[in-house]
Chains A and B, each alone.
Chain A
Amino acid sequence: MKTTTLALALLLGSVTAGCVTINIYFPAAAAEKAADKIIDDIWQLKQGTKPQTDQPQGEKK
């Protein structure tokens, strides 16, 4: 029983650490997504008249 508690505490700890990690490092993929959304709005590229449909070479998660 004690082991279960310990395991759960460890799990909770690593989940917490995971969240912190996500927030510390620059989220490159999320930033690209956000940039695309904003640029589409400003240049009004939404209506299927995109100049092109390339994907960033960026790392897909």
Chain B
Amino acid sequence: MIATPRFVAWLFLVILSWAPLAQAAADLEINTPAITSLKQSMQQRYGELAGFYASGAVGLTQDGLVAVRDPAAAPLAQRQQLNSLVAAENQDRQALYREIARANGHPEWESEVRSTFAQRWISKAAAGWWYQNAGGAWTRK
């Protein structure tokens, strides 16, 4: 093959055409309809969960989910609701991690997505909330 100027120009174009791909790889895709609707559902539920986080009835687990930590911290009348809220939240969270991995073409990333979230939920939690530390013990922020 002879490197004619035209050929060289073509090669550069080919190389340049990769740039958007490299750019896209720098960010994870999180704007799919499934992820958006999970986010909305969790955002709505947060209105009900916030009080339980603050009172310590619900805590953040080290595996990126939530758990009933101390039912006694919630009024008796709300304890039933507490369990179903936690179950629904955990379903959404699992689905969210799965969807993010899938939306980026790597379903096998699910567990890594989950552990990334686990750290970030805890890191962004408000003071006074409870979370599980690396050893699994409940800790107050």
**A interface residues, Cβ below 8 angstroms from B:** 1-2, 4-5, 8-9, 11-12, 15-16, 18-19, 22-23, 26-28, 30-45, 50-52, 54, 56
Which residues of the other chain, B, contact A37 by a CB distance below 8 angstroms? 30
Which residues of the other chain, A, contact B117 by a CB distance below 8 angstroms? 35, 38-39
Contact (Cβ within 8 A) A1 B25: no
A26-B112, A31-B116, A44-B43 as given contacts; A36 in contact with B3, CB under 8 Å: no
Contact (Cβ within 8 A) B3 A5: yes
Give Cα A2 to B107, complex, Å. Answer: 43
B14-53 interface (Cβ within 8 A of A): 14-15, 18, 21-22, 25-28, 30, 35, 39, 42-43, 46
Contact (Cβ within 8 A) B39 A38: yes
User: Closest Cβ of chain B: how far from A19's Cβ, in Å?
Assistant: 6
Contact (Cβ within 8 A) A35 B120: yes
Give Cα A11 to B12, complex, Å. Answer: 10
Contact of A30 among B27, B39, B121 (CB under 8 A): B27
Give Cα A18 to B19, complex, Å. Answer: 11
Known A52-B123, A54-B123; 20 more pairs at CB < 8 Å: A2-B2, A2-B3, A8-B3, A19-B18, A23-B25, A23-B105, A23-B106, A26-B109, A26-B112, A30-B26, A31-B113, A34-B100, A36-B124, A38-B30, A39-B121, A42-B39, A43-B124, A44-B46, A56-B119, A56-B120
Which residues of the other chain, A, contact B3 by a CB distance below 8 angstroms? 1-2, 4-5, 8
